[in-house]
Amino acid sequence: MKRILLLAMPVILIMLAFRPVKSHSVSGTVTDEKGNPLSSVSVKYKGSSNGTFTDASGKYNITIASSNGTLIFSALGYITVEQKVGGKSEINVVLKATNTVMQEVVVTGMATKREMKSLGAPNQLYGSRGIPGSSTIYAERDNTSYYHNKDEEYIDFNREGYDKITENQFMKVNDNPLSTFSIDVDAASYSNVRRFLNQGQLPPAGAVRIEEMVNYFKYEYPQPTNNDPFSINTEIAEAPWNKDHKLVLIGLQGKKIPTENLPASNLVFLIDVSGSMQSANKLPLVKASMKMLVDQLREQDKISMVVYAGAAGIVLTPTSGAEKTKIKDAIDKLEAGGSTAGGAGIKLAYKTAQENFVKNGNNRVILCSDGDFNVGESSDDAMERLIENERKSGVFLTILGYGMGNYQDAKMQKLADKGNGNHAYIDGISEAKKVLVNEFGGTLFTIAKDVKLQIEFNPAKVQGYRLIGYENRMLAKEDFNDDKKDAGELGSGHTVTAIYEVIPVGVKSSFLKDVDALKYQKDVAPLSKSNHTDEILTVKFRYKAPDGDVSKLIEHPVADKQMAIAKTSDNFRFAAAVAQFGMLLRDSEFKSDASYSSVVEMARKARGNDDEGYRSEFIRLVESAQLLAKSKPEPKKNIDTDEEEETLPISKNK
């Protein structure tokens, strides 16, 4: 018997060693001291690499190996907390802000504007290990630099690139009865603006594209009921910032196609692994993002991966979406270093996509970069021409922007516009989840391309109008019927919202400029007020099927039902609040009586169903912007030169 026990003992020990470990699930909410939920807080199981992040509502869920382990909660600008699990399945945590003492001095000067601020607010920046750290970041504007800890890298913020935006003006209906533009489903501007505000500073005007801020949010438009790929929805009420004016909301709802019914995908990941991507909030975040996308793929989907630094190369040949481990292993091996041959990478990615083209499928290049191209074809014009030529192959383009300090927003925006594509800015893991998981179909599957809108205003009802935002999407009226003219794409389940501010007939306005009467043109009598009595405008839509070359036309007349803004939908009021916020951030000449308080009040009442917490987060951002705007110093005039002189506080760590 003793002999049998001795022989059996090794077997018993082996069985005990390999017995299944009972896992334990923990969930909860992370808030600040005021009870506001905190997004992108790192939640890590101590002693392991197992971790997750809180979503926009501050919620998290993590499965750990032991019910007696310890969780570590950390976020930029907050004191790290360790919490023993002790068998609990729900752990709610309150993080306290770091108490960095700042000393303010005042420096005046004309040539250089400088401002040092503590950026201790929570944001999506990542420490050296790819998770949020607790160190405070300091920024110096306009000779802007960022230091994480003193031993970390110096980041020249001035290298970020933004185009100047010239706001759309009010147009007289008698002179310009038609307004024509391309749709835009991009939302990069909002997440980028959020990054600035979370860092404790107002964004530059060029970073604020109001249409992208409005279109960041979901709106409850009905699904299309016919064979068209989208439904058309309109509302009219007075403008919150100018009671004499009216707002016209035009909303498109793309048809939602279930994931299992989506066509097979041929995706090429094009990943920038140059030296500029070494920061932890760049390539490590790219890798985490791509892994989340891989988890959404099916067996019939094919994935290839191209990388570029000083040169471009293929690191993963076409692989089935079912081979997730193989794809993720290839992603894990990526390292950054070298110069940035973006043009060569784009050419190779498109070539790879074309060689594996899926007829009637979803063929797409997904570019992940900070946009800092510096080798080969790198100018805006050269890159745009390259993308325009490649798009003829039927391959679409998705651009995911990462990083701070040298982020080239203008270039990324232009490439997405020219490449039949969309553009998102990934400021943290929560945004990656929103774009690549929650909005998977809309981001990657096009249901209609070259979507254009043309609005004809009734001069018997409207004397002037302006489109809020869409400045880089404006088209000539002749472009509407020209099927060769490129326009925007609409994805599965996507919503698109556009807002016009109109000046009704009979309202005096300084926004409408008079011109001298024409000598050789005959005066055209305005339409009779009995003609189309109820119609304020007609909306015309043109779109093509994803693989089509000939557009289809839809017309949609709109009547003014004289509705008070309090009676409008949550869609209308929340979109109007976001548009008003954008006008304030841009210091728009058309903001009239707009105020941050008005934005907050309207957004709160129109929050509606906000399970994911994005609308609540918006309200907190507006409140932050209001505080920052109040602390912004007024420019002073230099008596000798008559030039504006900036007096800004510079804060130094004691």
Distance CA 391, CA 386 (A): 9
Q: How far is CA 232 from the centre of its chain?
A: 23
pLDDT at residue 425 greater than cutoff 50? yes
Q: Please report the pLDDT score of residue 14 as a whole number.
A: 52
Pairing verdict, β 302-308 and 265-272: parallel
Q: What are phi and psi of 259, to 5 degrees?
A: -55, -40
With pLDDT > 70 as the criterion, what percentage of the chain qualifies?
80
Question: Rounded CA gap, 423 and 415, in Å?
Answer: 9
End-to-end CA separation in angstroms for the chain: 76
Helix (H) or strand (E) holding 305: strand 302-308
Largest CA distance in the chain: 119
State the pLDDT at residue 546.
87
Cα separation values, 79 from 135, 320, 328, 454, 606, Å: 9, 43, 33, 53, 34
Least confident of 107-116, 344-353, 577-586: 107-116
Question: pLDDT: is 384 or 545 the higher one?
Answer: 545
From 284, 297, 361, 369, select the one nearest 327 (Cα to Cα): 297
Going through 534-627 in order, the beta strands assigned E by DSSP cover: 535-544, 552-559
Question: pLDDT tens, 169-205?
Answer: 999 999 999 999 999 888 999 999 999 999 889 999 9
Look at residue 6 in the predicted model and tell me its pLDDT: 57
Segment 635-640 mean pLDDT? 48
Q: Measure the CA–CA gap between 365 and 351, rounded to whole angstroms.
A: 10
Block residue for tokens 């709160």: 604
Please name each of the domains of the chain with its CATH number: 19-94 (2.60.40.4130), 171-257+448-512+533-627 (2.60.40.1230), 259-444 (3.40.50.410)
pLDDT at 125: 32
pLDDT for the residue numbered 553: 94
Round the average pLDDT of the chain to a whole number and report it.
81
Evaluate if residue 607 carries a pLDDT over 60: yes
Helix (H, G, I), strand (E, B) or coil at 180: strand
Record the tokens describing residue 527, joined without a space: 């339409």
Structure tokens at 90: 């729900």
Q: What is the pTM of this model?
A: 0.75
pLDDT grade, residue 80 (50/70/90)?
confident
Distance between CA atoms of residues 549 and 483, nearest Å: 7
